[in-house]
Amino acid sequence: MRIGLVIYGNLDTISGGYLYDRELVHYLQSQGEHVKIVSLPWRSYPRHLGDNFAPAWRRRLRDLQVDVLLQDELNHPSLAWLNADLRRQARYPLVSIVHHLRASEEHPAWALWLYRLVERRYLRGVDAFVFNSDTTRRAVQSLAGEEKPLVVAYPAGDQFAAQITPDEIARRSHLPGPLRILFVGNLIPRKGLHVLLRSLSELKTCDCRLEVVGRQDADPAYAGQMRRLATRLGMDDRIEFRGGLSKAELSAAYKRSHVLAVPSSYEGFGIVYLEGMSFGLPAIATTSGAAREIITHGVDGFLALPTDVQAVGAFLSELCRDRQRLAKMGMAARQRFLRHPTWQQTGQKIHRFLKALATA
Domain boundaries, the chain: 2-156+342-358, 166-339
pLDDT of residue 10: 94
Rounded Cα distance, 26 and 164, in Å = 26
pLDDT of residue 251: 95
pLDDT 10s digits, 236-283? 999 999 999 999 999 999 999 999 999 999 999 999 999 999 999 999
pLDDT 10s digits, 97-154? 999 999 998 889 999 999 999 999 999 999 999 999 999 999 999 999 988 999 999 9
pLDDT of residue 1: 94
pLDDT of residue 15: 86
CATH code for the domain defined by 166-339: 3.40.50.2000
Beta strands 301-304; 283-286: pairing state: parallel
Fold of 2-156+342-358: Rossmann fold (3.40.50)
pLDDT of residue 89: 84
Task: Sheet containing 94-98: give its strands across.
Answer: 34-40, 2-8, 68-72, 94-98, 128-131, 150-152
- pTM of this structure: 0.91
Q: Do domains 2-156+342-358 and 166-339 have the same CATH topology?
A: yes
Residue ranges of the chain with per-residue pLDDT less than 50: none
- Letter for the amino acid at 137? R
